[in-house]
Amino acid sequence: MVGMIADVVEREEGRRIVLRFVSSETTWVWDWGVFDAGTTPAAPTSLVRLTITAAMRAHAAEAGERGLQTAARRALTEMAHLLSGAPPPAPLKGSDARDRERAQKHRAMEPPARGEIDMQVVIPLPVDEVWRGVLDASTYTVDAAPGERPGVVPGTPVGQLGELRYVVSSLGGHQFVRFHEVVGVGPGHRIVLRHQSSSHPTESVTTVNPHPNGALVRIVCEVALHGENAQMVDEARAAFRAHVARLSEELVRRASADPEPPSPEA
């Protein structure tokens, strides 16, 4: 699962919103407008208009225009389905067959190179405080470059099984979103995340245990990469190393920023 990112570039409350998608080479601008279409014997009705614009090379303009028309029709049909219960858009012709073909080719590739990453850090804070920080998705920066932020996908259970975390990442100069699902919590101070944005989803296990100097945070993760990407195991290990360092710094910073509890009155 990989998510796209859109900037809100214009907004008129209740009437209009303009989105600029920034996760692809060709920037799409989606202009949504809502108009009062009067009333029917059953209920008031609205007219929704969607205009999509994109800059593209001349030789691709004709096919690109057809693609924009298809995208607009499907987006309007999907919105009507979600808001009013109208039928959903039909699957794109041939999309299922193409997906099956890609999956078969991928499975036919040579077995992936596998490697285990085992990182740990001692954080000079109480175990319960560190555990709360580990459960907080805003501290999960294993995929994030400086300036990028993680968070929780709205509608998923925070800190529980099924929570879906996102991390904004950059690839080829474009931003996109990677997802990590909480598939295990406990026993004890233990959380398991499944990395859902890779061709071979793997899991990382984070534990928090007492240490003479505070709390010991340990992350164990297996990575699986194909062929020429095998050297990326070392890059993944470096990313986890940076993550545990940032985690320690952030939790210590938060603890120092919290006001001290008032002293009891004599």
The domain segmentation of the chain, as residue ranges, is 2-84, 112-257
Furthest-apart CA atoms within the chain: distance in Å = 82
Q: In this structure, is the dihedral angle defined by the CA atoms of residues 34, 37, 38 and 44, taken in order, positive or negative?
A: negative
Judge contact between 11 and 34, C-beta under 8 A.
Answer: no
What is the Cα–Cα distance from 125 to 131, expressed in whole angstroms? 10
Whole-number pLDDT of residue 37: 79
| Strand 2-3 with 174-185, pairing | antiparallel
Q: Rounded to 5 degrees, what are φ and ψ at 74?
A: -65, -40
Q: Which amino acid is at 248?
A: S
Q: What is the DSSP string of 16-27?
A: EEEEEE-SSSSP
* The two three-digit tokens of residue 48, written as one number: 């929704």
Residue 189, exposed/middle/buried by CB under 10 A (0-12, 13-18, 19+)?
Answer: buried
Question: Consecutive 10-residue runs of the chain (266 residues): their mean pLDDT?
Answer: 84 90 75 83 82 79 80 89 87 61 58 79 94 90 73 91 87 78 93 84 91 95 67 77 88 81 49
C-alpha 152 chain-centroid distance = 8
What predicted TM-score, i.e. pTM, was given to this entire model?
0.70
**DSSP-derived 3-state class of residue 147:** coil
Regarding the domain delimited by 112-257, which CATH topology (the fold level of the hierarchy) does it fall under? Alpha-D-Glucose-1,6-Bisphosphate; Chain A, domain 4 (3.30.530)
Q: In this structure, is the dihedral angle defined by the CA atoms of residues 57, 61, 65 and 66, taken in order, positive or negative?
A: negative
Residue % of the chain over a pLDDT of 70: 80
Give the residue carrying structure tokens 């009705």. Answer: 45
Rounded alpha-carbon distances, angstroms, from residue 75 to 48, 56, 88, 169: 11, 21, 10, 25
Whole-number pLDDT of residue 266: 38
CA angle, residues 143, 164, 105, in degrees to nearest 5: 70
What is the Cα–Cα distance from 114 to 236, expressed in whole angstroms? 12
What is the Cα–Cα distance from 177 to 110, expressed in whole angstroms? 27
**DSSP-derived 3-state class of residue 180:** strand
**DSSP-derived 3-state class of residue 9:** strand
Whole-number pLDDT of residue 20: 87
